[in-house]
Structure 1
Amino acid sequence: MLLNPLLLVLGIIIGCHCQEQTPLQKVVESGSKFNGNLHKELANTQNGNFVYSGLSANLVLSLLTSGAKGDTKNELVSGLNLVQDDKERTNGYKQLTSSLNVNSEDLKVLSANKIYPAKGFPVEESFKNTAVNDYQSEVENIDYQNKEHAAGTINEWVGQKTNNKIQNLINPDKLNPETKLVLANTLYFSGKWVRPFDFSWKGSFHSTETQSKEIKFLQGTFQAKYRPCRRHQAKFLELDFQGGNISMTFVLPNDRNGLKKLEDTFEGVSELSPMYTGNVQISIPKFKEETTIDLVPVFKKMGIQKVFTSGADLSGISSKQNLQVDAIPQKTFIEVTETGVEAAAATGVQAVPTSLIRPDFTFTADYPFLYYIKENNSGAILFAGRYVS
């Protein structure tokens, strides 16, 4: 019996906790739990800095789950902390993706889905309708006999949807004539700070107690949201973006060796509220990061096994073909500059005098910290990561 691998592809950023139980709030709450588990696994397997998007993973894997059955589906729902009811889950993600798509000069949040069936591959109409109507997915048949052309077609679409910040997501060597379906999701974000930083300067970043390196820091003293937290033994700094209700939060442990403790409880860390508002003296690294992650071994540790084997039941996608998931790559890009966070070229440095405002709070991130970008209306986390060196 021929087993046709299914290649699952991710583009890039989510999660949050809400009290009410509408479909939107349910998927955001479940996404928060998934994001916490995902961050913990990545922290144990990834060396150095990393950035990822739990939202991007959740979106495309939720679509996959709608085509799974039996134990395969049960493992996906349990391992990903998905909302169990298909209708509630798809309605929730439909509302979430609709609310996230913003495309203005100051703020861009663009999510896109696409399925690439092989030419002649019999995709179930019910699955195709779910993809198009509930996940706003495009559909394009592709010839996997020519793996170079197929990979190029998918990578070109990913590049277009991410302002060319994500390149070569699909390795043509991962495709073969037996590949029957690719599911792709991208999430692109670009935002300008409500209050740009005053200037940048060079200082020492302490990766460990004994290791440090000279890097560029962004410096400013201005109105921002902050909170010292005894529960997590950390300082929180929240910076808003123009043009929408989106912010970036930096979480700095009080102890220079306290990062692991924060990462082990990431879900609780990302739900902190409320914040204080005041004049904050801020010093954070200016950085650019791109991370490529193979999520298959990560998900296996989270209890998802069957979908990667010949015993996978994805008959909701095709009742005439035996499918299994072959790979789940995710590539994510982030750049933090004086003017904002964007997937774009670096901004020139302009030095201005330091502020004479007396700060209410000081936030100096010169040792390892966490960060996440959140849509505050829903509480969905778009991107998250850590900076350690």
Structure 2
Amino acid sequence: MPYFEMSLENNREYVYQNDSSVVESDLGMWMIVFLDVDWGDQIKKAEALLGEEELPQSGLGFIKGMDYGQRVAAWYRELKSSLSPQHPLLKLLVEQQLRNRLCCAFYPEEPWKLRKEELAYLQVLDGTDAEYEDVSISPVFLRQWLNDVIKIFTQLQTCQNQLAPLLDEVMGREQDNQGSILHAYFTLQRQNLLYRNLVEISYQALSPRFYISRNHKIYRYDGGTDTVPAKEKLEGHTYMATDQLAALTVWEFEMLCANEIPLRRCAYCGRYFRPYSVVNCYCDRVVEGTNGKTCKQVGATSKHQQAVNQDEAKKLYRKVCNRIQTAAQRRKKQYPNIMRRYNEVQLYGKELMEQVEAGTITFAEFQEKFDRSTAELLGIK
């Protein structure tokens, strides 16, 4: 069974878990989390353990080997606590793929046939067995496992290094008003042969599967007497299954472009986030040393945010004025005083823009006050 299965539909992510549950989030959340992880740092930590001097396999050296096993277990538990909570795909990576690679290091041909000592060490990894002194695992297996982990992290780091500049290229145009995301993606596909090769290789690693779910639980027929519930709401989604997390990441990049879902770099911390308005420049990550304040809270009063608010307010002002001017011109005979009312609306909009420039109201407040229906602004039916 593949380690990773995810569906990207309805602008949402659906990640299939091992307990048949489905974790749902906004499309793009995995890309954001993936780019946030410092894979290079994770590689260094694993290499530091791997680079420790070779340990003897008998006598007093075996006790040292047990100490080495403790250090490896501590490293894994730290990895688990730092990565697993960030996204369900990272949880599957750490707690399933990496953990199972250790089982394969014990028994490459039959990883499910573990001895008592090896099962006990897995409990040590999970933090469920405090009596490590009774567990004896050869460092040879652990070093082989660390080598496998480093290979996986290196693949993810390579994917990150490949996708980050491509995301900047595609999403940067939307942010700078240089064209749509889809147009930028088309240019990327046409001009970048390396990217086309990356997509082709990634898609070869993906296998589509269709699942029925209800209440975020995959409904699977197991040959028993259970029947499909007739009155409950069912959902059907096509999942992509793979053992290569990098391939799934490339697929999400493609789907973000296809659906023109913008990701934007936070103007404060520089990391990607999914904005929910054209003026949203800051993410919700907590800034260190600010007593829990987020980038959005810290940057709300910045000159950059005020400049963005002003630009968007001017655009909306022109759009609304053009709309109501057209309506006023068409109804001058029906409403003789309508042009005077139009001039009043213009003045009202300018007063609101001055408040935006002064920072006394936000763009959202300006939009709420000024972007109303034509009939409401002109006082007509």
TM-score after normalising by structure 2:
0.22
Normalized per residue, which structure has more helix? Answer: 2
TM-score after normalising by structure 1:
0.22
Normalized per residue, which structure has more strand? Answer: 1
RCO greater where, 1 or 2, for CA within 8 Å and sep 6 or more? 1
The structure with the largest alpha-carbon Rg is 2
